[in-house]
């Protein structure tokens, strides 16, 4: 693989989506002036402008875009240039209505919103390649070009398509995977409910059927659908690599998203970018954001990424769209930078006057220069200049959390499961939240990684587990790692066949347990778990565990049918240990267990769980930059080294730093071996 190309920008990125085709040319000039005033150095455009660039087939109208780019570049502003393929023009659809996507009921979706295409449509791909080439040939040598922005939020509206073109593509994908029809029949376990296929053409995408659909067919459709969008992404990448081989490419991700395997997407692009919209009405939104950002920095092995879109204040797509309070936009931006983003960008620069997003906030609100959002935008732009030393540095984290799309899809695509309540993303978020409360940022890893640099690896769920993953996890434990595995793991292989002997299949020796039966807990019922004399509630899930000799019981059920049986176990192996949770404990239970895990790894942990204080360290070779964030609405005092310097100008007095509501400090100090751990006074 070639080295990733870098964004052509020599500062932290600051700017937003810009839709100049919604505004007059005089406004462009004013925009450029205000952008400079705000410290903006890059904008994304023209994301949705294909119809304006090619109003009739084959006739391009570049003039307006040429002029916009000249106005911006004249002011020194660079461009994250979109290939304009986020949405097709109406003429293309009317010529080729077959490119419209179909929903799960086989009904065609209409034009009138965006992303009105089937990812597998050959006509769409052909036109996407043509448009991308036209853009690259037109602007590929422009000095303002900093980055290619391919499409927009793949899968946002259409991540799966059940149309005839998808059916053809799905069959090709299945042929590549299984080779023969017999191979497919074997993989799909067609002996159940009489589903043997005798012709490839008989296979369809899993549209709404008479009852529960074959789970492996559903799982393969999830894999295929992610791959179909990946192939579409690759169509554009190939053109861009050919015409502009030195310019970095990206597509904006949507945080921890179920439908696309971002490990695969990140592998083919140069820079990971993300769109993140923590809800200002949710006082714990930053906890989830921490996991999203942990994923982003981990997708390319810890390399800096970029927050490409966030809101300046309210969005317009929730039921209730609460604005960001003064200071919230700043701390949200700082949190992303703390977690490795080399900049903070927005949707969008100027608030729209019309259309679906006119009530969505922007850096420049409807009131223009007087708007609160513009004032905060200017202030943040000035502050980012002070953070220049952190650009290019990397976050240090001791904990890795496994994100495995196959297990996510397998444990959610089918309704034929022990319970519908054990939700992959909810569990992953709950485990991340516990580490947040204990003071640790979490990277994400793959189950078959080398886990180098991590002291603790946690696997909230690994429903689909392979021998290769088991070997990697075992090697980690044997050389001293602390591994924690969550319930309903090691259940099936990659074709969803139950592992011989039952769960946890290939993890049996490592975890030292056998699951005799999954024992989901009915809605509304809370059972009890006791760990080291403390009692915790468990809900949703439990398991009848049998132990292999040598496995230690750390926690047992104290109520219900499983009373007296093991619920939490640990087995030593080499110089490390593998912990297993056969339950879903309440927050306090997770905190107590993970505190012990951190202790076993020799890592500090907060005695009192904290949902407000966050500290994340980005390090260069010789300097630690520790971001300290107060996500709460009350002032907060933390301990800091006496000689620590806050890049943002805050003062450390007698080893104490006081952060106001939504306050942030970035403490620079000589790099230490251990990651700095910040506590409350």
**Positions marked active-site:** 153, 309
User: What minimum distance in Å lies between the beta carbon of 273 and ligand GLA?
Assistant: 11
Q: Which segment (177-185, 309-317, 420-428, 621-629) binds ligand GLA by CB under 6 A?
A: 309-317
Residues of span 269-308 touching ligand GLA by CB under 6 A: 275, 277
Q: How far is the CB of 86 from ligand GLA (least distance, A)?
A: 8
HEC string of 12-50 equals CEEEEECCHHHCCHHHHHHHHHHHHHHCCCEEEECCCCH
Question: Minimum CB separation from ligand GLA for residue 307, in Å?
Answer: 11
**Residue 608 burial (C-beta neighbours within 10 Å; 0-12, 13-18, 19+):** exposed
Q: Which is nearer to ligand GLA, 316 or 535 (CB)?
A: 316
Distances (CA, A) of 185 to 175, 182, 199, 219, 564: 12, 5, 11, 14, 43
CA distance 6 to 270: 7
CB of 543 to ligand GLA, least distance (A): 40
Nearest partner of 121 among 201, 218, 230, 232, judged by Cα: 232
539 binds ligand GLA (CB under 6 A): no
CB of 305 to ligand GLA, least distance (A): 15
Peptide bond into 173 cis (omega under 30): no
Closest to ligand GLA by CB, 308 vs 397, is 308
- Pick from 401, 419, 399: which is nearest to 411 by CA? 419
Residue 414 within binding range of ligand GLA, rule CB under 6 A? no
Nearest-angstrom CA–CA distance, 14 and 23: 21
Of 646, 610, 618, 611, nearest to 338 (Cα)? 618
User: Residue 159 CB, nearest distance to ligand GLA (Å)?
Assistant: 14
> Which one, 114 or 671, has the nearer CB to ligand GLA?
114
Cβ closest to ligand GLA, residue 346 vs residue 435: 346
Rounded to whole angstroms, the Cα distance separating 242 from 247 reads 10
State yes or no: residue 347 binds ligand GLA (CB under 6 A). yes
Residue 542: name the closest of 580, 583, 512 by CA: 583
CB of 165 to ligand GLA, least distance (A): 25
Nearest CB to ligand GLA, comparing residues 83 and 573: 83
Q: How far apart are CA 277 and CA 44, in angstroms?
A: 17
The count of chain residues that interact with ligand GLA, using the rule CB under 6 A, is 10
Least Å from the CB of residue 308 to ligand GLA: 8
Contacting residue, 227, 270, 309, 406, with ligand GLA by CB under 6 A: 309
User: In this structure, what is the dihedral angle of CA atoms 428, 433, 438, 440, given to the nearest 10 degrees?
Assistant: 70
Query: CB–CB of 232/122 below 8 Å?
Result: no
d(CA 541, CA 491): 15
Q: What would the two tokens of residue 579 be? A: 């912990």
Closest approach of ligand GLA to the CB of residue 315, in Å = 5
Rounded Cα distance between 518 and 463, Å, is 12
Distance of CA 296 to the CA centre of its chain: 6
Q: What DSSP character marks residue 439? A: T
Per the CB < 8 A criterion, the answer to whether 405 and 494 are in contact is no
Examine residue 360 and tell whether it contacts ligand GLA (CB under 6 A).
yes
Token pair listed for 474: 């075992």
Interaxial angle between packed helices 328-338 and 372-386, expressed in degrees from 0 to 180 and rounded to the nearest 10: 30
Q: Which is nearer to ligand GLA, 152 or 226 (CB)?
A: 152
Q: Which is nearer to ligand GLA, 21 or 552 (CB)?
A: 21
Q: How far is the CB of 324 from ligand GLA (least distance, A)?
A: 13
Of 254 and 464, nearer to ligand GLA (C-beta) is 254
Which segments of 42-121 does DSSP mark as H helices, in order?
A: 50-53, 63-74, 90-95
**Cα torsion at 582, 587, 588, 593 (round to 10°)?**
40
- Check if the beta carbon of residue 545 is closer than 8 Å to that of residue 567: yes
Nearer to ligand GLA, 249 or 601 (CB): 249
Q: Which residue in 187, 315, 531, 666 binds ligand GLA (CB under 6 A)?
A: 315
Alpha helices in 157-209, H assignment, sequence order: 164-178, 181-187
Question: What tokens does 526 get?
Answer: 């809370």
Give 50 or 277: the residue with its C-beta nearer to ligand GLA: 277
Of 251 and 556, which CB lies nearer to ligand GLA in the complex structure? Answer: 251
Residues 6+ apart with CB under 8 A from 458: 399, 400, 401, 402, 431, 435, 442, 483, 484, 485, 486, 594, 597
Q: Tell me, residue by residue from 148 to 187, as one string, x for binding to ligand GLA by CB under 6 A and - for no binding.
A: ----xx----------------------------------
Q: Which one-letter DSSP state was computed for residue 4?
A: P
The residues binding ligand GLA (CB under 6 A) are: 152-153, 275, 277, 309, 311, 315, 347, 357, 360
């Amino acid at each position: 693989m070639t080295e990733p190309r870098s964004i052509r920008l020599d500062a932290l990125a600051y700017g937003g989506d810009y839709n100049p085709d919604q505004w007059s040319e005089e406004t462009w000039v004013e925009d450029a002036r205000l952008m400079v005033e705000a410290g903006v150095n890059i904008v994304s455009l023209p994301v949705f402008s294909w119809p304006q660039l090619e109003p009739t087939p084959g006739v391009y109208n570049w003039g307006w875009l040429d002029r916009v780019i000249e106005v911006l570049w004249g002011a020194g502003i660079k461009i994250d240039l979109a290939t304009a393929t986020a949405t097709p023009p109406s003429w293309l659809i009317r010529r080729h209505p077959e490119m419209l996507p179909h929903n799960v009921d086989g009904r065609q979706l209409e034009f009138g919103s965006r992303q009105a295409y089937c990812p597998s449509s050959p006509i769409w791909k052909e036109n996407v390649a043509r448009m991308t080439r036209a853009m690259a040939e037109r602007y590929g040598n422009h000095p303002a070009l900093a980055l290619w922005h391919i499409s927009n939020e793949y899968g946002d509206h259409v991540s799966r398509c059940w149309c005839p073109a998808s059916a053809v593509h799905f069959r090709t994908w299945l042929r590549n995977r299984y080779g023969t029809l017999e191979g497919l029949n074997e993989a799909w376990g067609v002996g159940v409910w009489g589903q043997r296929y005798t012709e490839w053409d008989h296979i369809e995408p899993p549209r709404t059927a008479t009852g529960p659909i074959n789970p492996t067919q559903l799982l393969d459709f999830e894999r295929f659908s992610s791959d179909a969008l990946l192939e579409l992404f690759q169509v554009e990448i190939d053109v861009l690599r050919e015409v502009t081989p030195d310019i970095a490419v990206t597509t904006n991700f949507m945080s921890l998203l179920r439908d696309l395997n971002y490990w695969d997407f990140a592998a083919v692009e140069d820079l990971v970018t993300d769109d993140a919209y923590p809800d200002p009405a949710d006082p714990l939104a930053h906890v989830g954001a921490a996991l999203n950002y942990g994923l982003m920095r981990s997708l390319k092995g810890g390399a800096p990424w970029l927050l490409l879109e966030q809101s300046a204040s309210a969005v317009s797509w929730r039921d209730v769209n609460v604005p960001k309070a003064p200071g919230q936009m700043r701390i949200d931006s700082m949190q992303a930078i703390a977690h490795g983003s080399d900049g903070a960008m927005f949707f969008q620069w100027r608030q729209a006057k019309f259309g679906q997003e006119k009530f969505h906030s922007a850096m420049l609100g409807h009131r223009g220069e007087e708007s609160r959002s513009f004032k905060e935008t200017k202030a943040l732009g000035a502050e980012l200049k002070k953070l220049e030393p952190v650009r290019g540095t990397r976050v240090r984290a001791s904990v890795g959390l496994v994100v495995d799309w196959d297990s996510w899809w397998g444990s959610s695509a089918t309704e034929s499961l022990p319970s519908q309540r054990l939700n992959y993303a909810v569990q992953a978020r709950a485990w991340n939240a516990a580490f947040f409360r204990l003071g640790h940022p979490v990277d994400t890893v793959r189950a078959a990684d080398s886990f180098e640099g991590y002291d603790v690896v946690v696997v909230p769920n690994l429903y689909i587990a392979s021998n290769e993953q088991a070997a990697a996890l075992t090697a980690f434990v044997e050389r001293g790692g602390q591994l924690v595995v969550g319930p309903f793991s090691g259940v099936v292989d990659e074709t969803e066949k139950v592992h011989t002997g039952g769960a946890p299949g290939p993890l049996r020796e490592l975890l030292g347990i056998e699951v005799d039966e999954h024992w989901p807990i009915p809605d509304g019922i809370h059972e009890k778990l006791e760990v080291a004399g403390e009692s915790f509630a468990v809900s949703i899930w439990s398991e009848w565990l049998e132990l292999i000799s040598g496995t230690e019981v750390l926690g047992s059920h104290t109520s219900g049918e499983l009373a007296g049986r093991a619920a939490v176990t640990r087995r030593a192996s080499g110089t490390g240990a593998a912990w297993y949770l056969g339950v879903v404990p309440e927050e306090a239970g997770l905190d107590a267990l993970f505190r012990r895990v951190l202790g076993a790894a020799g890592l500090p942990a907060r005695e009192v769980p904290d949902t407000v204080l966050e500290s994340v360290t980005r390090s260069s070779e010789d300097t630690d930059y520790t971001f300290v964030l107060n996500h709460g609405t009350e002032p907060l005092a933390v301990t800091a080294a006496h000689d620590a310097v806050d890049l943002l100008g805050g003062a450390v007095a007698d080893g104490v730093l006081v952060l106001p509501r939504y306050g942030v400090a970035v403490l620079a100090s000589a790099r230490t071996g251990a990651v700095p751990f910040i506590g409350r006074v």
